[in-house]
Amino acid sequence: MELYNGERPSVFRLLEKYMRKGLYSILTQGPIPTHIAFILDGNRRFAKKHKLPEGGGHKAGFLALLNVLTYCYELGVKYATIYAFSIDNFRRKPHEVQYVMDLMLEKIEGMIMEESIINAYDICVRFVGNLKLLSEPVKTAADKIMRATANNSKCVLLIAVCYTSTDEIVHAVEESSELNSNEVCNNQELEEANATGSSTVIQTENMESYSGIKLVDLEKNTYINPYPDVLIRTSGETRLSNYLLWQTTNCILYSPYALWPEIGLRHVVWSVINFQRHYSYLEKHKEYLK
């Protein structure tokens, strides 16, 4: 938590910034990931480790998030995605779910502030997932910040809430099926009209099910695009936990042992170095998958 801890004198923060610039100038000699995704794992363990009150780990985690996003955007990463709240998290104790929702509401409202990181880096914020599961206040706040930042174009922050990858895939299939069904219906109507010389209405309920879903349609209808180049999950876990299962075919997975509130610049830098080391292979594999 080097940037947003409110403790270091401004002269030291300025010195840190210039040191980071020197480091970035070296890293940018190689390829930089377009998209880095994060699983914010370890907030509760951090609170237990440091004997913090309930919710203290999530607050420390939010400070770490601001720092990590700053590092990414300073480095030239265009997209960052965070796994903020899984659909499966609704199985936790009701008071814990409510606390996370209240914290999310507080932080969303804070993001709109003039001096926030969102305005400093011209970030477009997008909430993705099954958003109808959000509480009404959080959904309203999310809509507000998405509208407020819609014209920002330098960087994009994707916040996955009420999200699981399986739900995302079901959503993509449903959207693609509906699109293809409409296309088939329109094509049949056109063929009938050409054959009879008149306009004929085809009843969609009498159509046979159409399964010709194209891969490009599925990819277009997933919640999270473009696909991440690097996925970082803290606390040493290597499980994806139902996150970005579709999008991580060609992605570097980095699992530092640090808990999420402990993540720092060195972890971001090391993930970029790993990406650069494997860049040639990743590009070849990407071409192979086309």
Q: Say whether 41 is catalytic.
A: yes
C-alpha 85/C-alpha 101 separation (Å) is 9
C-alpha 192/C-alpha 194 separation (Å) is 5
Length of the chain, in residues:
290
Enclosing H/E stretch for 98? helix 94-111
Active-site position among 41, 88, 102, 143: 41
The letter for the amino acid at 79 is Y
CB atoms near residue 85 (< 10 Å): 22
**What is the SS3 assignment for 108?**
helix
Q: Which residues contact 33 (CB under 8 A, 6 or more apart)?
A: 77, 228, 229, 230, 271, 272, 275
- By DSSP bridging, strand 35-39 and strand 230-233 are parallel
Q: Which residues contact 174 (CB under 8 A, 6 or more apart)?
A: none
- Residues forming the active site: 41
